[in-house]
Chain A
Amino acid sequence: MSAVAVHSLWTTAADPISKIDAPKIEYGQLSPTLIILGAAIIGVLVEAFVPRKSRYYAQLFVSVVALCAAFAAVVALASDGYATTKAGIAAMGAIAVDGPALFLQGTILLAGLVGLFTFAERRLDPETHGNRVDSFAAQAASVPGSDSEKAAVKAGFTTTEVFPLLLFAVAGMLIFPAANDLLTLFVALEVFSLPLYLLCALARRKRLMSQEAAVKYFLLGSFASAFTLFGIALLYGYAGSVSYGTIAKVVDGTITTVDPALVDTMGNDALLLIGAAMIVMGLLFKVGAVPFHMWTPDVYQGAPTPVTGFMAAATKVAAFGALLRLLYVVLPGLRWDWRPVMWAVAIVTMLGGAIVAITQTDIKRLLAYSSIAHAGFILAGVIATTPDGVSSVLFYLAAYSFVTIGAFAVVTLVRDAGGEATHLSKWAGLGRRSPLVAAVFAVFLLAFAGIPLTSGFAGKFAVFKAAAEGGAAPLVVVGVISSAIAAFFYIRVIVLMFFSEPRPEGPTVAVPSPLTMTAIGVGVAVTLVLGVAPQYFLDLANQAGVFVR
């Protein structure tokens, strides 16, 4: 480090403290996130002070109210023009309040609300010792199979901590796509990842598998976070700032002043390329794109199914939101560098997810690989680098998340003595035993497969159209081919449900409470409405398709 740089650091540190102004926070614009964070903290207090018997209801009440209030706040902000004309940057440059952010926040909140209903379901498992139980471990800290676990079950403990954990995760996800500097991005990433790691470990049945899933997710996830953080450091070295706007300007050469402290590193393209690649890698990990997808099947399979559904939907929304903002706001100047790489990632993700899914025999793993293939389709829209690309991705994410939560909610219903019967062979003949449940699941599968008149088709058409217009016609062809491959395994499940003879000792379908019914019903309704009359929502996504810079 040169003498000048040292001097500069020294003088910065020596500045009188009185000169620092209090940060200006736009509480109104940040209200959705603040509501959720506040409710999460209330949830923690509920855990501490409310008697065990009434915690479940208190937590459910707090969470539902918070998610609804936050959604109302998002709608209010959007109708106030913050999605379009008044879009701006809040919290001293840390958070963007613009169309994509609000659209994705609304989607995440709704997905969180529907996911919450599946979390709160307590009618699927038979009552143990006279207590209703949900999908979560009686006491997370007790060793599986130990006496303390039995005692916890007998005492009727439930892990009501899942509600504040869900809220914290939602709060992190709300910030993630809105983050407007790299540090906020990283903090948001951790805020939503840590609760998810925990939630994955909390399954009531098959606890070891659940814990294994959580450890895998945590280890790989922290690797990805570390990569992201390293990338952030390198980008800071390149641009001398963590703010999206400033980095973008440095990248395209509008800002040329060199921070004297960073005179050795600023403008070094190697730092820019490696740093950007590492951050993008961390985000691709979260969306589950090949080759960063390895965690997906294990975690999806091991985690409690309501968590899987929520995670599959909301994480994808948040992570794609962050990826879009990063690529469109920070790195548009690098487009010619990242597009070929993203092309390759999209192609292997679409094909890889679809091909490997064919061999799966577990419904949750199957849906995991299907989610990988879908990540590939969404990437095709990301690559378009047009406003149409943004809005098509937004629409796809909204459509996809409700199908996913609905599908996983159906998975929770099909049960045998060992809990959920996730092995595909057990689903044989489900269409004869419970035509309605099988028909609903078939609707979700057809939506995943992108059959017309479902939301899956509208979404797929939107991203492929954007990709074709953005000059990525070969990606469309690959997408179409992998859709055809993917159709094969969705159809296979339908064949199994409707055309196979039911097994004599097959699973039963639990009759859920209105909570899960709502989740599934919302899923079906959204799937059909977005499939038949998507125009209103496409308009919303279009209006929301512009990032503030």
Chain B
Amino acid sequence: MSFPLLTATAALPAIGAIATAAVPAARRTAAKWLALLVSLATLALAIIVLVRFDPDGARYQLTESHAWIADFGVRYELGVDGIGVALLALTALLIPFIILAGWHDADPLETGSKRWRPTQGFFALILAVEAMVIISFEATDVFLFYIFFEAMLIPMYFLIGGFGDRAHAGSDEKAAAQRSYAAVKFLLYNLVGGLIMLAAVIGLYVVAGNFSLQEIAEARANGSLDMATNTERWLFLGFFFAFAVKAPLWPLHTWLPNAMGEATAPVAVLITAVVDKVGTFAMLRFCLQLFPEASKWATPAILVLAVISIIYGALLAVGQRDIKRLVAYASISHFGFIIMGIFAMTSQGQSGATLYMVNHGISTAALMLVAGFLISRRGSRLIADYGGVQKVAPVLAGTFLIGGLATLSLPGLAPFVSEFLVLVGTFARYPVIGIIATFGIVLAALYTLVLYQRTMTGPVKPEVSAMPDLRARELLVVAPLVVLLIFLGVYPKPVTDIVNPAVKSTMSDVHKKDPKPEVEAAK
């Protein structure tokens, strides 16, 4: 038997999480280094996966399959396709940066009980989330996916509620109350989504008799598993609801600004760049493959919601006074693009959506982490408290600008390629939707540039006049992300090469072919 590479990529951070949690209270720094090393080792494993993955090979590669709970028809089945591999790599890539950026976020302020170990807990929880996210990208068994899709809420919940921003304006008690509100809101939204999905998962079992994605998709394709139209639609809705909460899609998005606003910047990145990707990924992998007909049936409604997300998220981002909430609403807008790309049902759209997931992860990480560094210096999240930072801290301002420009999809930076692909792919089939969505880009330019202008340019505010520039650790976090943004903006081929064959298979699952431009236009 070959080495279970995929299990190892998930097991390593899981074991690392336990080890980190077990580090004695006084050895805080050791816990940090341990977590960082584990995350780097996981990245190394992810790179091995990436190298061993053959884009033109079988659809699911590096597969593992073991009996698990035969009674529920559940097997421990892992396998990655191009989409999964790309997101797996993204996750493994971002976690070391998140850990490094949050290096001091969980240093204990007050002296609690001797056994109270917030630092160890913080890094252990991040690794736990990493393990669960990775296994969700790898699972090809619906039940296995569901278990980790749900279970990852718990460490995420403690990360949001337990480790808030030190730099919150207002009293400590109020901040704690807001934080625990945000954490509970996050958990309840996602738990309700997950429980509704549970009903659909059970329904799927009743219909199909097992949970193997490949088996069910195959049976659907060759007609041996017939679902009544209504059954399929209900099951699709059950799955889609959970993913739409997670993604998040308007009108199920309201937990995201709270969660991202109250969590520390690295945790906010973890939410939006890593955990939320599971939602959009699962739409591609589970909704489209398991319920192709229902997906086509629901497409118009979902596209409308996606466009609302794009415009609504961008409009609200323009109106924000809080930097982190602004980034959160910008993310909602971007998730609208991703979902639109998925359900446009064209290969450009879906390639673009997958690429978008990767690029959005990197660009949001860059923007949000720099914003976090900025906020920790001034002790405020309000845009109005800043001004003229670029004169005091030019490197910080410069990286912030690059992150912002990536967010508004400036040509030459990575997100441009994906946004362009999504828009082209959508336009080919749904021109009106595509045109409306394009306005999202205009609004993105507005909120990003206004944010930059208000915080970084203008006269230097007295409170920021002594602000130090990026330190070595912070630079180490930001520089690689900026390099990646530029590299993938100029040369996205490495990612698209991996993603494209997988998108083709997904397209054939839903029996969709790309429209021939002139024929569709003539109609």
Interface residues of A (CB under 8 A from B): 432-436, 446, 451-453, 457-458, 461-462, 464-465, 468-469, 473, 476-477, 480-481, 483-484, 487-488, 491-492, 495, 498-502, 533-535, 538-539, 542
Contacts and interface: CB of A to CB of B under 8 A. Distances in A.
Interface centre among B70, B195, B199 (most CB of A within 10 A): B195
A501 B179 CA distance: 13
A535 B183 contact: no
A122 B199 CA distance: 45
A491 B146 contact: no
B280 to A, nearest CB: 21
Contacts of A451: 150-151, 153-154
Contact of B199 (A432, A452, A480, A495): A480
Interface in B153-200: 153-154, 157-158, 161-162, 173, 176, 179-180, 183-184, 187-188, 191-192, 195-196, 198-199
Given A435-B115, A453-B151, A484-B191, A498 B161 contact: yes
Nearest to A496: B180
A457 B143 CA distance: 12
B297 interface: no
A453 B151 CA distance: 7
B202 A495 contact: no
B51 interface: no
Given A468-B206, A487-B191, A495-B180, 19 more contacts: A433-B113, A452-B148, A461-B72, A464-B202, A476-B203, A480-B199, A481-B195, A484-B192, A487-B187, A491-B191, A495-B161, A495-B183, A498-B162, A499-B162, A499-B180, A499-B183, A500-B180, A533-B68, A538-B71
B205 interface: yes
Contacts of B162: 498-499
B198 A464 contact: yes
B35 to A, nearest CB: 18
A477 B150 contact: no
Contacts of A465: 72, 202, 205-206
B69 interface: yes
A476 B202 contact: yes
Contact of B184 (A432, A476, A491, A500): A491
A534 B203 contact: no
Nearest to A464: B202
A463 B450 CA distance: 55
A488 B158 CA distance: 15
A500 B179 CA distance: 11
Given A434-B113, A453-B151, A487-B191, A535 B68 contact: yes
Contact of B69 (A436, A453, A464, A538): A538
Given A498-B162, A501-B176, A468 B116 contact: no
B241 to A, nearest CB: 11
A457 B154 CA distance: 14
A435 B22 CA distance: 13
B117 interface: yes
Contact of B161 (A464, A468, A499, A535): A499
Contacts of A461: 72, 198, 202
Contacts of A498: 158, 161-162
Interface string B89-127: 000000000000000000000001101110000000000
B435 interface: no
Interface on chain B toward A: helix, strand, loop, or mixed SS?
A: helix
Contacts of B148: 452
Interface of B: 67-72, 112-113, 115-117, 146-148, 150-151, 153-154, 157-158, 161-162, 173, 176, 179-180, 183-184, 187-188, 191-192, 195-196, 198-199, 202-203, 205-206
A484 B195 contact: yes
B179 A542 contact: no
B18 to A, nearest CB: 13
Nearest to B67: A535
A539 B150 CA distance: 25
A492 B179 CA distance: 14
Interface on chain A toward B: helix, strand, loop, or mixed SS?
A: helix
11 contacts: A432-B113, A435-B113, A436-B115, A451-B153, A451-B154, A468-B202, A473-B203, A484-B191, A499-B180, A533-B68, A535-B71
A434 B184 contact: no
Contacts of B151: 451-453
A17 to B, nearest CB: 54
A492 B191 CA distance: 14
Given A435-B115, A452-B148, A453-B147, A535 B188 contact: no
Nearest to A539: B71
Contacts of A481: 195
A535 B69 CA distance: 5
A435 B147 contact: no
A339 B85 CA distance: 49
A418 to B, nearest CB: 23
Contact of B112 (A432, A476, A539): A432
Given A432-B112, A499-B183, A468 B203 contact: yes
Contact of A435 (B68, B117, B206): B117
A491 B187 contact: yes
Contacts of B196: 480
Contacts of A464: 198-199, 202
Given A498-B162, A499-B161, A446 B72 contact: no
A480 B179 contact: no
- When A and B form their complex, which 8 residue pairs have the shortest distance between CB atoms, in order from nearest? A452-B147, A538-B71, A499-B180, A432-B112, A480-B199, A484-B192, A480-B195, A452-B150
Interface centre among B113, B148, B187, B202 (most CB of A within 10 A): B202
Contacts of B147: 452-453, 457
Nearest to A499: B180
Nearest to A477: B199
Nearest to B149: A452
Nearest to B68: A535
Contacts of B157: 491
Contact of B115 (A434, A533, A538): A434
Contacts of B199: 464, 476-477, 480
Contacts of A538: 69, 71-72
A462 B72 contact: yes
Interface centre among A469, A483, A533 (most CB of B within 10 A): A483
A390 B71 CA distance: 14
A469 B148 CA distance: 24
B70 A535 contact: yes
A77 to B, nearest CB: 24
Contacts of B179: 499
Contacts of B205: 465, 468
Nearest to A485: B192
A496 to B, nearest CB: 9
A240 B401 CA distance: 89
Contacts of A458: 69
Nearest to B187: A491
Contacts of A477: 199
A546 B114 CA distance: 53
A542 B173 CA distance: 52
B502 to A, nearest CB: 27
A486 to B, nearest CB: 10
A483 B113 contact: no
Contacts of A457: 147, 150
A480 B154 contact: no
B203 A487 contact: no
Given A435-B115, A464-B198, A542 B71 contact: yes
